[in-house]
A = this chain, B = another copy of it.
Amino acid sequence: MGIDPTLLEQRLDELYTIGADPGGGAYRPLYSSAWATAIERVERWLTEAGLETHRDAVGNLWGRAAGNGKSIVTGSHIDTVRHGGRLDGALGIVAGLTAVEALLKAKGTPKRPLEVVAICEEEGSRFRTNFWGSRAITGSIDSVDPEIAAAMRERGLDPTKVANAAREDIDTFVELHIEQGAVLESSGTPLAIVSAIVGTAHLELTVTGRADHAGTTPMESRRDALTGAAAMIQAVESIARSLGKPAVATVGKVRAEPDQINVVPGRVIFTIDVRHSDLGARRALEERIRSLCATIASERGLGLDIRMLQERPPVPMHSDVRAVLTRAAKDCGVQAVEMVSGAGHDAQILAARCKVGMLFVPSIGGRSHCPEEATKREHVELGTKVLAKALELLAY
């Protein structure tokens, strides 16, 4: 069973032109016209591959080869971040449909239903939501924000029917994705089998001091919220460093008020993204950060309020799927490593309803979510071959 590397690259190129962002890269936000065009393109490829397609209640696109029992599903998300790259999400869809197309050609009808899915949204780059598509599949969307509902109606989707997207008949979901980091590249490894997806906590800290005139307030009379926040940002970095891998903690957003050149900041709001593959370790990391920030605030006479914006536990990949992926890699003559995913993926949501597994191929320079996002041609081909082998082991 052959995978055509040229076809893979052509399809990736074609998808990348849809939603070209004037500032570089592609931008295909949920329910946008670029998003709709990309869905149509994938639908055509699925049909050409001999799959029966349908769109569910939130706009996830499915292509199905009939079989008995619960489905084996592969795919990824079709949306992108702003200035997104060529592979994040797109690779999992293109590799999935190209692998299934090759399997159908070489092996005929599968024993089990074999499906490819283009998940409508994962990135959270348009609305205040993420994992929108996979949460619909698991039936875990309770209500639809009015802004999203309006965008759904524009695409002919009925926001009151979201529950219809739920699936109970998936056995296994397996996804090929780029690593989005530089671990594989720097160790010279062409493929990884994901052992778990890290747990993430998103915190928002509000530091309250007193806004004062920058010229008339002596240094020792100040309650400067920004110098306090700067001490906390330093602490976040040093705590994560001292704990060592795979602990990471990041301050990504910061805003000072009143944000004037000649006024001592009276209030600073910043976020912390805390991750670890072990729930206890993630909580301990978060606890040390909370405690040190509270000490800094108290020493400086500042107020501190910490709000949890989002908390997701670590999700282990299913041992059965890991075993299949390991065997598939071996069958393809590849020595794969196991690694923890520092990024979130739809698999962590779908794990609530089915067995899940993931494959990573290296990202050049570790770059992702940017136009420089790239993976060597031979790694794209290799990942797709191992994916196809795993689907064969699971569905035939």
Contacts and interface: CB of A to CB of B under 8 A. Distances in A.
A252 B248 contact: no
B259 A253 contact: yes
B220 A230 contact: no
B215 A344 contact: yes
Interface in A132-164: none
A218 B202 contact: no
Given A234-B234, A250-B214, A254-B226, A369 B220 contact: no
A29 to B, nearest CB: 14
Nearest to A83: B258
A226 B234 CA distance: 9
A241 B215 contact: no
A233 B240 contact: no
A198 B215 contact: yes
Given A213-B368, A273-B261, A227 B233 contact: yes
Nearest to A220: B241
Interface string A262-284: 11110000010101000000000
Contacts of A183: 216, 218
Interface of A: 179-183, 198, 200, 202, 211-221, 224, 226-227, 229-231, 233-234, 236-237, 240-241, 245-256, 259-265, 271, 273, 275, 309, 341-344, 366-370
B213 A343 contact: yes
Contacts of A261: 202, 252-253, 271, 273, 309
Nearest to A123: B262
A211 B224 CA distance: 28
A298 to B, nearest CB: 17
- Counting from the closest, the 7 A-B pairs by CB-CB distance are A181-B216, A215-B342, A214-B250, A230-B233, A230-B230, A216-B342, A215-B343
Given A215-B275, A245-B218, A273-B214, A260 B264 contact: no
